[in-house]
Each structure stands twice: as C-alpha cells, then as structure tokens.
Amino acid sequence: MRVFKWLFIVLVIIVGVFSAYAILGNKNYLFKAAYHNFSGIDDYKIFSNDKVEGAAVDQPWPFGAAYNKINYPDSLNGLLEDLKTVGVLLIKNDSLQFEKYWDGYSDSSLSGSFSVAKSITSILIGAAIKDGKIKSVEQPVGDFIEEFSGGEKAAVTIKDLLTMSSGTDWNESYWNPFSVTAEAYYGNDLQKTATQVKMKNKPGAIHYYKSGDTQLLGLILEKATGKKLNEYAAEKLWQPLGATHDALWSTDHENGNTKAYCCFNSNARDFARIGKFMLDSGKINGVAVIDSMFWKQSITPCNITDTKGEKCNYYGYQWWIDPQHPEIFYARGILGQYIIMIPSKQMIIVRLAHKASKERVQTVPREVRALINWGLSL
C-alpha cells in the first residue's frame, strides 16, 4: 500500500508541476495536447474549421472501363493494411481506375491530410503571384509581416519559405508536447507562434523542413489577398476543379488563423483533383492559375544544402520529388497521406491513412515507393 501511496504522491507532483508550467508560462495548449495525446486524421472534429466550398455543380470523375479490375498486388494490399490505410485511389487519363476503403471510410469521408496542406498553400502562393497580389518569389517576407521587416529577418524572402530554407530556429518535433510544432497544432495564436521565431542560419543557405515556414506563407497570403485561406482556396482551386464536397481547413480558434501548414480535410476523390491540377501544369480547363515557371520550380529540386550536407534533390516549392524518378512528385502528410503524380502515365495516386512507414528509400517512404512501382507497372 505504501508503494501505491508514493506513486500517487509522485503523480500528483508531476501533474502539479506540469499544470503550473502550462499556466505560468502561458502555454495552455499543453492541456489540450496532453488530453488528445497524439494527432489523428479525425482531428478536425476537435478544432475550429473554415469551409472550403466545393463546386456549385458536381463534376464527378468518370469511371474507367476496367474500374476496380486492374492488377492490385496482394503484397501492396498487405503493406497498406499493415500501415492502417483508410483509402487508396488511382486515376489514369482522367478516369477513376481503382479505389478501396477501410475502417469505415468512404469516397466522401473527410480525412485530415496534415502536410499535404503545405503543397496546397504553395499553389495558392503561385496563384497570388499570377493575380499580381505578390510581386514574385523574391519579394521579402517583411513586406507582409511586420516581424520580418527589420534585423536579420528582413533578408528572408518568399522563395526561402517555399524551399524550407528560411534559416529560422523553428523546432520541427511532432512528438514533443513542448515543441513549437505542438504549440502551433494545439495552440490558439498561430500569428504569434509563427512570427516569434529567431534566425539561426543565413536565409537560402540550409534546407531544413519546418512547418513554420509554411505557416508564414499562409499569413502572407491572407495579407496579400485580403481573404482567408479557405476563401482563396475555394476561388482558385476547389470550385474551378469541380470538387464534389466542401473541404474543411482547420484554424487555431473560431474565426482565427488558418493552419496553412496542415489540416486541410477532404476525401480521396477530391484530393485527386489537386493531382490533376499539377499534372495539367497548373491549369484548369486550359487556363493557367499559376505561372508556368512557378509550376516548374515547384516540382524541381531546390538543390539547397540540407542538414546532412547534401544537395536537396527531393524537395521543390513545398512538393516532394522522387530522386529515383525525378519526374514523379508528390504531396506528403506525416501519417501517410499522399497525392502522387506520375506524368509519364498521366496518373494520380491518392493514399489516406492512420500511419506511415518510418522506412525510407532515398527519402521516399516505403509505401510511396510501393505505390509508385504499382503505378509504373500498369
């Protein structure tokens, strides 16, 4: 009994210290982080959300003649099931060729995409440049965000943010509840969280993946366009692309800042429309939404030295690139959310899931490599 008593006392002390730290340090987000423990694909239910309105008239994908009859290897299915996939879909030549769902999800179920939102935010930067709201990728961040208008931060450009080479000290730790990434995810003041960073490296010198860079892009977009991200995304992408369902983009609080670096929630069929947009060189029905040069740079390796001292041959403007097949590019979320484009096949593969593999093949997650190999075999 004495052991249980001491364990109880220790637990009370730990909870007390944790609570005091959270309250006195103005880090109340820690209570929410502790309560929800780990992030999940249904987290839109615990956050406030802005609606990204879909098309007024549905434009569903046409079904291919061999719909759900194409070769789908047991080995691939086993891998996807082991990694708790909830949906996989394949589009070829603008027709739906294959789809499968698990765990009660369907072709219309909302699912969080995490950092897939980074790629969407990048597209919107390109659209704002095309619209003349932003001069170019070389424009200083300080033109839009006061905290970057002086000192070392004044040298940071939009291109530095797009290529994840801002040089800021943002700590990209997903599992540490005390990290700035956790604060961004569970906190209620993204403006402050994203802009309070300090400089660590010279802008443009080191590629280091940071959600904070994308969040700054989101703040720039709202300042430049005078619109919330959900409104601009609906206007430039979701409605023109014929999205069947409204999407949700999570915010830090009701009517608050959009989580530009994550938390765009939709379904596999509508996520595939982003893939079509990129396969079509940033055009919708032949009309350019982003400039051709911006589109090309988005899916071209930035070649900035990374933290391992190697040239980054796997990341462009918030889009991942397959070093083994440089023409193949993809959007990627931390729990295994992917929109994969294979231009030579005019193919889009979408995968949504609860889990991603930790195994990498040339920076490419194991399941992405398996999905690419599947697509190339068809």
Q: How far apart are CA 100 and CA 327, in angstroms?
A: 26
- Does the pLDDT of residue 279 top 70, yes or no? yes
- Mean pLDDT rounded to a whole number for the chain: 91
Angle at CA of residue 239, ends 88 and 276, nearest 5°: 45
pLDDT band, residue 215 (cuts 50/70/90) = very high
Pick the CATH number of 38-377 from 3.40.710.10, 2.40.30.10, 3.30.360.10, 3.30.70.2740: 3.40.710.10
Share of the chain above pLDDT 90, in %: 84
Say which residue, 17 or 289, is predicted with more confidence.
289
Long-range contacts of 299-308 (CB under 8 A, 24+ apart): 299/329, 301/326, 302/163, 302/165, 302/207, 304/163, 304/165, 304/204, 304/205, 304/206, 304/207, 305/205, 305/206, 305/207, 306/206, 306/207, 306/208, 307/206, 307/207, 307/208
Q: How far apart are CA 84 and CA 237, in angstroms?
A: 29
Task: Quick: pLDDT tens for 327-354.
Answer: 999 999 999 999 999 999 999 999 999 9
Q: Which region among 2-11, 59-68, 110-119 has the lowest average model confidence (pLDDT)?
A: 2-11
What pLDDT, on the 0 to 100 scale, is given for residue 57?
87
User: In which order are the strands placed within the sheet that holds 247-251?
Assistant: 48-52, 247-251, 264-266, 111-112
CA 208, 212, 215, 217 torsion-angle sign? negative
CB burial string 79-109: b at 16+ within 10 A, e below: bbeebebbbbbbbbeeebbbbbbeeebebeb
> 330 with 338: CB under 8 angstroms?
yes
- Which conformational region is residue 7 in: left (phi greater than 0), alpha (psi within -120 to 50 degrees), or beta? alpha
Measured distance between the N- and C-terminal CA atoms of the chain, rounded to whole angstroms: 65
> 248 with 44: CB under 8 angstroms?
yes
> HSE on the CB side for 279, CA within 13 Å?
21
Ordered by start, the domain boundaries in the chain are 2-35, 38-377
Task: Quick: pLDDT tens for 253-275.
Answer: 999 999 999 999 999 999 999 99
What pLDDT, on the 0 to 100 scale, is given for residue 229?
98
Q: Is the pTM of this model over 0.85?
A: yes
Q: How far apart are CA 199 and CA 60, in angstroms?
A: 47
Q: Which region among 20-34, 90-104, 131-145 has the lowest average model confidence (pLDDT)?
A: 20-34
What pLDDT, on the 0 to 100 scale, is given for residue 104?
97
The two three-digit tokens of residue 10, written as one number: 């220790």
Query: Which residue type does 218 have?
Result: G
Which residues make Cβ contacts (< 8 Å) with residue 286, sequence separation at least 6? none
For residue 155, what are the CA distances in angstroms to 165, 191, 199, 205?
A: 12, 20, 10, 12
- Does the pLDDT of residue 363 top 50, yes or no? yes
